[in-house]
Structure 1
Amino acid sequence: MTVLLFILGVLFVAVGIAVSIALHEVGHLVPAKAFKVRVTQYMIGFGPTIFSRRRGETEYGVKALPLGGYVSMVGMYPPNAADETDGTVRSSSTGMFQQLATDARSAAAEQLQPGDENRVFYNLPIWKRIIVMLGGPFMNLVIGVVLFAVLLMGFGTAQSTTTLSEVNQCVITSDQAAQGQTECTDADPAAPAYQAGLLPGDTITEFNGSPVTSWEDLSSRIRDAAGQSVPITYMRDGVEHDTVITPLLTERPVAGDDGAPAVDDAGNPVTQEVGFIGVAASTELVRQPGSEVLPAVGENLSSIAGVILNLPQRVVDVAQAAFSSEERDPNGPMSVVGVGRIAGEISSMEEVPVESRVATLVGLVASVNLALFVFNLIPLLPLDGGHVAGALWEGLRRRVAKLFKRPDPGHFDLAKMLPLTYAVAILLMGMSALLIYADIVKPVSLFN
C-alpha cells in the first residue's frame, strides 16, 4: 500500500507539472495568435515527436523528453540589413559567432511564406512582444495563485491545537539530546505532564483557572509558570477532568525566524530557561480567508527569489553535498526528480490524514509554478526574460536615437546573442544534470 501511495504522489506532481508546462506555452500561444503572428508549432517536451496533429497553420504535439516545451513563431530573428539582398540572406562573415547568427537568420527566413511580412514576431510593437513573452510566466503565476487559493481557502493551513499528540515520560535536556540520548533512563526526572496523568488525545481547556484560547496562549503561560503548582482542566473522551501540574524550569532550544533551532555565531544551539511540561500539540487544517492568499504567494515568491539570486552558490553547495558526506540543504534547489521524491514521501505517510497529504501536494505544485514564474523572468536568453530584455533594449535604443535625432537603429538582432544563449543553455542543462544526480544519490528528505 505504501509503494502504491508513493507512486500516486509522484504521478500527482508529474501530471501537475506537465499541465503547468502546457499552460505556460498556452500563455505564449494565445497572445501570439491574437496579434496575428504565425505560430508553426506548439510542443510539449523536446527531442523526437511522439504525437502531433496539425490544426490550421499550427502543429500541436508531444515530444519524447518531458523537460519543458516551446512555441515556434515565424520571425523570431530579424534580418540583418547588411546581409539582406533581394529578400535572401547571405553570409557576411566567416567568424564562428557571426556564422551562428547568419545560420539562425537563414533558418528563420526559410520559414517565411508569402503574406508573412506583417505576421513575423520581430515586426510586432515592442509592447506586444513583451506581452507574448511574459504570457508564459504570467500563466504560471496565475496557476500558483489559484492553487494557493485552493490550498488556503479550501484545505486550510496546519495549525497547532490544544489537543495533545504526545506526552513525554521524562525530561531530556538539550545537552543530553545533543549527545544522542532519545530514551528515558531512571536518572531522568519525570515530565510534569506525564506525572500529572495527561495522555495523548487530551484537550487542555483551562490553565491556572483561565480558559485556554490557543496553543500559543497555553505555551506562553506554561513558560511563565515554571516552579508553580497550577490547576489544569482537560477533556478526555468527552469527560472533563482536573489535575495539578508543576512546569519544570529547564533549558529549551530557541526557535529562529524560520522555525528551526537558532544557533549562535559559534554554531552552538541557543537555549533559554523556561517552564516545560513535556507535551506536543496535534495539528489541524484551518481554512483561511481570501485576504491571506496574496500575502502567502508574496512570501513564497520572496523565498524563491532569494534562492535564485544565490543560485550559483546553491548549486556549488549541492555539488559538494552530492560528492561528499555533507548533508543537502532542504531549502536548496532540486530537480523534478527531487520534487517527485518529496511528493511520494508525502503521499505515503499513512499516519497523516489524507486531506493533509493532498493539501501538501497541492502546495508543492503551486510552489513549482511560482518557481517557474520567477526563473523564467531571469533576463538571459533562452529564457523568456531574455527576450523581454532584448525588446526593452531595442525600445531604449530607439528612444535615445529619437531624442538625439539620430537614424532609427532598427531591430535589436537577437541572433547576435546566440553564443551567450548557447552558453546559458549548456549551463542550465549541466545544472539540471547535477541536480538530478544529487536527487538520486543524496536526496533531500523533509521527513527524517
Structure 2
Amino acid sequence: MGMLLFVVGVVLMALAIAASIALHEIGHLVPAKLFGVRVPQYMIGFGKTVFSRRRGETEYGIKAIPLGGYISMIGMYPPARGARRPGRLAEIFDEARRADNERITAADEGRLFYQLPVHRRIVIMLGGPLMNLLIGTVCTAILIMGFGSQQPTTTVSEISQCVKKVEAQQEQDSPQSCTAKDRQAPAAQAGLKPGDVITSFNGERVGSWDELTDAIKSRADQRTELTVERDGREQRLTLTPIKTARPIFNDLTGQYEKNADGSLKTEEVGFVGVSPTTELTPGQAQDVLPTVGQNLQQIGATVIKLPARVYGVAETLATNGQRSADSPVSVVGVGRVAGEIAATDRIDLHAKTASLVSLVASMNLMLFVFNLIPLLPLDGGHVVGALWEGVRRTVARLFGRRDPGPFDPVRLLPLTWIVAGSFMLMSLILIVADVVKPITLF
C-alpha cells in the first residue's frame, strides 16, 4: 500500500508540474496571439514529439523530455544591420537568422515578434512568469484560508535534556546526544513534559509561542515561575533560563544567519530547552499577499546562491558525503518528496493534501523568480533586451540620431549558450543527486 501511495504522490506532482508548465506557456501564447504574432508551435517538453494536433496556424503538442516547454513565435531575430564581419561566429549568427527567416511568409509582414512595440513584447515575455505567480498565489490562498498554515503553539512537543553548544547544531538533521559534560537544560530540570500547555510565564498570560520565546529570552539568569496545564490540571513550576549563545533565525530567508566564515551568527539570550507542537491554523485573505511576498524574498535569496549550493551538492556526490536537508532539488526530487508525503503514515490526509498544495505553490513561485533572471534564454533576458531597445531608441530620438533598430538576441547567442549549458549542467547534477542521495522528510 505504501508503494502505491508513493506512486500516486509522484504522479500527482508530475501532473501539477506539467500543468504549471502548460499554463506558463499559455501566459506567453495568449498575449502573442492577441497582438497578432504568428505562433507555429505550442509544446510541453523538449526533444521528439510524442503527440501533437494542429488548430488553426498553431501546432499543439507534447514532447518526450518533460523538463520545460516553449512557444515558437515568428520573427524572434531581426535582420542583420551593417556589414557582415568575417569569421566562424558570424557564420553561426547568419545560420540562426536564416533558420528563423525560413519560416516567415509574405502574410507575416507586420506580425513578426521584433516588429511589435517594446511594451507588447514585454507583456508577452512576462505573461509566462506572471502565470506562475498567479498559480503560486492561488495555492497560497488555498493553504492559508482553506487548510491554514503550520503555526507553533504553546503546547510542548520536546524537552531538551541538555544545553548543546551552537557549533554542534550547525546543519544538524537530528538531535545531538547529551554527554556528562553538558549542562542540564532548565526545562528538563524543572520537570516540564511533552504535552504540557504553558499558560503563563513570570506571572503574565502566554497567548502565543512567539510571546513565550520573547519572554524566555529576556529572563536570562532570572528565577521565573510558569504555569502549565497537564492532564486537565494546572501546575506551577519554577525554572531559571540559562544565558547562552543561540543562533539567530532570519524570518525573511527562513534560515539561520551565518558569518562570513560560514559559522552561525549568535546572540546571548535566555534558553530553557523546549520545542513547540505545531498545528494548522486558518488565516485571513489579507494574509495571502504578505505571505507570498515573504516566500518570494526567501526564494530570491536562494536563487542568488543557487550556483554555489549546486556546487555543494556536486561536492557531496564526489566525496560521498552527507547531503544537507535544505539543499536544492530537481523535478525528480520534488516528485520523490511528493511521493514520500503521500506514502507516510505520520500525518493524516488533511496534512498530506496541504503539504502537496504547498509544494505546488513553492514550485510556481520558484519558477516565477527563476524566469525573471535577466539572462537569455530566460524570459527576464528578453524583457531586459526590450527595455534596452526602448532606452536606445528614446535617446536616439531625443538627440536626433539614427534609429538603432530592434534588440538583436542573435548577438548574444554565445552568452545564451553558456547560460543554457550552465542550467542544464546544474539540472543534471541535481537529478543525479536526487536519485543517488535523495532528501527524505520522514
Q: Would the TM-score normalized by the shorter structure come out above 0.5?
A: yes
1:165 alignment counterpart: 157
Aligned 1:298-447 pairs, distance under 5 A:
298-445=293-440, 447=441
Partner of 1:106: 98
Q: d(CA) in 1 for partners of 2:262 and 2:143?
A: 39
Match of 2:281 in 1: 286
Residues 37/184 of structure 1: CA separation in 2 closer, same or farther (3 Å cut):
same
SS state at 1:293 partner: helix
Aligned twin of 2:172: none
Deviations for 1:290-318, whole angstroms, at most 9, x for unmatched residues? Answer: 22222221222122222222333233222
| Structure 1 CA distance for aligned equivalents of residues 178 and 347 of structure 2 | 24
Q: 1:410 offset after TM fit, Å? A: 2.1
Counterpart of 1:132 (choices 124, 139, 150) is 124
Contact kept, 8 Å, 1:204 with 1:233, in 2: the verdict is yes
Given the two structures, how large is their TM-score scaled by the length of structure 2? 0.85
Question: Which string of whole-angstrom CA distances, capped at 9 and with x for unpartnered residues, describes residues 176-217 of structure 1?
Answer: 9959864799x9979866975x65445444567664423344
8 Å contact from structure 2 (residues 220, 243) kept in 1: no
State yes or no: 1:47 paired with 2:47: yes
1:120 aligns with 2:112: yes
Indicate the residue corresponding to 2:207 in structure 1.
Answer: 213
Q: Which amino acid aligns with 2:6?
A: F
Look up the match of 2:37: 37
Pairing partner for 2:147 from 155, 158, 163 = 155
TM-superposed deviation, 1:361: 2.1
Report the AA paired with residue 63 of structure 2. K
Residues 82 and 206 of structure 1: CA distance in aligned 2, closer, same or farther (over 3 Å): closer
Partner Cα separation in structure 1 for residue 269 and residue 130 of structure 2: 49
1:142 is matched with which residue?
134
Q: Aligned to 2:403, what secondary structure does the other structure show?
A: coil
Q: What amino acid does structure 2 have at the position aligned with 1:104?
A: A
TM-score normalised according to structure 1 size? 0.84
Check conservation: 1:192, 1:246, Cα contact below 8 A. no
Q: Is the 8 A contact 1:232 1:243 kept in 2?
A: yes
Q: CA offsets, 1:57-92, max 9 Å, x none?
A: 110000000010000111111222568xxxxxxxx5
Q: Deviations over 1:231-260 (max 9, x none)?
A: 735253xx4x13342325546662412476
Code of the residue aligned with 2:207 in structure 1: it is T
Which structure 2 residues correspond to residues 76-115 of structure 1 after superposition, within 5 A? Answer: 76-80=76-80, 95-115=87-107
Whole-Å separation in 2 of the counterparts to 1:40 and 1:323: 44
Larger Rg: 1
Cα shift at 1:363:
1.7
Q: Equivalents in 2 of 1:10, 1:33: separation in Å?
A: 34
Give the length in aligned residue pairs: 431
The residue type equivalent to 1:246 in the other structure is T
Amino acid at match of 2:332: V
Hey, what's the Cα distance between the residues in 1 that align with 2:166 and 2:40?
Answer: 67
* Separation in 2, partners of 1:331, 1:176: 19
Q: From the superposition, tell whether residues 192 and 402 of structure 1 become closer, same or farther in structure 2 (CA, over 3 Å).
A: closer
Q: 1:423 to 1:52 in 2, by over 3 A?
A: same
Separation (CA, whole Å) in 2 of partners of 1:250 and 1:261: 21
SS at match of 1:246: strand
Distance 1:339 1:363 in 2: 12
TM-superposed CA distance for 1:368, in Å, is: 1.4
Q: What is the aligned counterpart of 1:245 among 229, 237, 243?
A: 237
How far apart are the structure 2 equivalents of 1:229 and 1:406? 77
Equivalents in 2 of 1:177, 1:315: separation in Å? 24
Opposite residue 52 of structure 2, the aligned amino acid is S
Amino acid at match of 2:151: Q
Aligned-residue offset at 1:156: 1.3
Unaligned runs of 5+ in 1: 84-91
Secondary structure at the counterpart of residue 162 of structure 1? strand
Kept after mapping to 1: 8 A contact 2:122/2:386: yes
Q: Is the 8 A contact 2:247 2:265 kept in 1?
A: no
Q: Alpha carbon RMSD of aligned pairs, Å?
A: 3.4
Counterpart secondary structure, 2:162: coil
